[in-house]
Amino acid sequence: MINYFMDTYQRLPVTFTKGEGSWLFDTNGKKYLDFGSGIAVNLLGHNYPPLVNAVSEQAKKFFHVCNYYQSDTSLSFAQKLAQICKMKNVFFANSGAEANEGAVKIARKYSLLKYGTGRHTIVTLKGSFHGRTITTLSATGQEKFHKDFGPFTDGFLHIPCGDIDTLEKTLDEKKVCALLIEAIQGESGIVPQNEKFMAEASRLCKQRDILMIFDEIQCGLGRTGSFLAYEQYKDEDGNPIKADIITLAKGLAAGIPCGAVLAGEKTSDVFVTGDHGSTFGGNPIAAAAALVMLDTVNNPKLLEENVRKGNLLMNAIKTFPKVKETRGRGLMIGFDIEGNSREVLEKSLLNDSHGLLLLSSGPNTIRLLPPYTITDSEIEQGLAILKLTL
């Protein structure tokens, strides 16, 4: 068969035709349990009735009005999201990379207005992932992505996670405008930041007027037990760390493309007319879906449940053969294995009767990002397949 896709993904040999809750069905009618949520996108599983209704109702009204106007749905979405994230305002994009591009622009302009030129550097962490555009690749602190596509955007420095000395030296207030962090790194295998490092980062940034940007694209939206993952970190006085900019995408509209940059007190006035734009950003269909996601996920009971279910998974995985280290919080779990993660992915997929969908992070690490709607019995079924495969 001719392959009409460009060969950018090492696609697994399965073609899906429909989904229901935590399950997907392929062209042969075989069932697969979804422990990946399409990379943290389908937070509410597949075919979730309130989501389907909201999208269908919006589709009957209109799909799109351009950003020269506003729609009632997008307006509610902006208001609700800003309030839940405790930020002042929002710019909507369509993806994580675009959200981070917006954050970079805001950070640089903030510094330019206040301090003039030369203070445009953005510090990010090794192992981070911030997107695939030329600028967000520059931000991404992983060598393997930095080849073939240069020249890259200037003005990014990558420092090791947890290295307070290097942090202190690199956050030069004459050159640096922002520090961009994933509270829990996703793509590189679920790596939570060290608490002391985060407290120190917060202190230094505040002292030097360096903006703290949190990339919550994978770890945010309730997955780890708080609406945003960085909210679980405290500054040196034990107060919650303050974000100046937050980026969101992936599960924001529970399966429909949507990204967002949120600005706090320091940064909410930086963008003015003409500074930035997006044709589809805040699209009403995405907004309708996002409103259902927000209403469902911004709920203490659900957040608690995510932690409880995550512990169920984690405690079982720790006892499995070939499992070395486990990491994560709530329904964001990574573990290193003896052996090849791709092989485990393929074997779990091809498991007799039901398949299991997993994600990998490099050659020896498996990532689990199940939907929040997953039940205890589904967790048991998935664990049984995983154990067998390992």
- The answer to the question of residue 95 lying near ligand PLP (CB under 6 A) is yes
CA 268 to chain centre: 22
β-pair partners for 355: 32
Residue 244's nearest CA partner among 48, 110, 378, 65 is: 110
Contact residue for ligand PLP among 54, 85, 111, 182 (CB under 6 A): 182
User: Could you tell me the smallest distance in angstroms from the CB atom of residue 140 to ligand PLP?
Assistant: 8
User: Could you tell me the smallest distance in angstroms from the CB atom of residue 97 to ligand PLP?
Assistant: 3
Q: CA 78 to CA 91: how far, in whole Å?
A: 8
User: Could you tell me the smallest distance in angstroms from the CB atom of residue 29 to ligand PLP?
Assistant: 31
Quick one: DSSP state of residue 194? P
Contact residue for ligand PLP among 34, 101, 200, 215 (CB under 6 A): 215
- The answer to the question of residue 131 lying near ligand PLP (CB under 6 A) is yes
Q: CA 78 to CA 273: how far, in whole Å?
A: 18
Nearer residue to ligand PLP within complex by CB, 211 or 248? 248
- The answer to the question of residue 101 lying near ligand PLP (CB under 6 A) is no
Cα 57 to Cα 53, 184, 282, 327: the distances in Å are 6, 36, 17, 40
- The answer to the question of residue 334 lying near ligand PLP (CB under 6 A) is no
User: Could you tell me the smallest distance in angstroms from the CB atom of residue 38 to ligand PLP?
Assistant: 11
User: Could you tell me the smallest distance in angstroms from the CB atom of residue 186 to ligand PLP?
Assistant: 4
Q: Enumerate residues 226-255 that contact ligand PLP by CB under 6 A.
A: 249-250
- The answer to the question of residue 130 lying near ligand PLP (CB under 6 A) is yes
Judge whether 10 and 359 are in contact, CB under 8 Å.
no
279, burial (CB in 10 Å: exposed 0-12, middle 13-18, buried 19+): exposed
Q: CA 89 to CA 308: how far, in whole Å?
A: 32
Contact residue for ligand PLP among 97, 349, 369, 390 (CB under 6 A): 97
Judge whether 246 and 181 are in contact, CB under 8 Å.
no
Contact residue for ligand PLP among 44, 123, 199, 217 (CB under 6 A): 217
Residues near ligand PLP (CB under 6 A): 95-97, 100, 129-131, 182, 186-187, 215, 217-218, 249-250
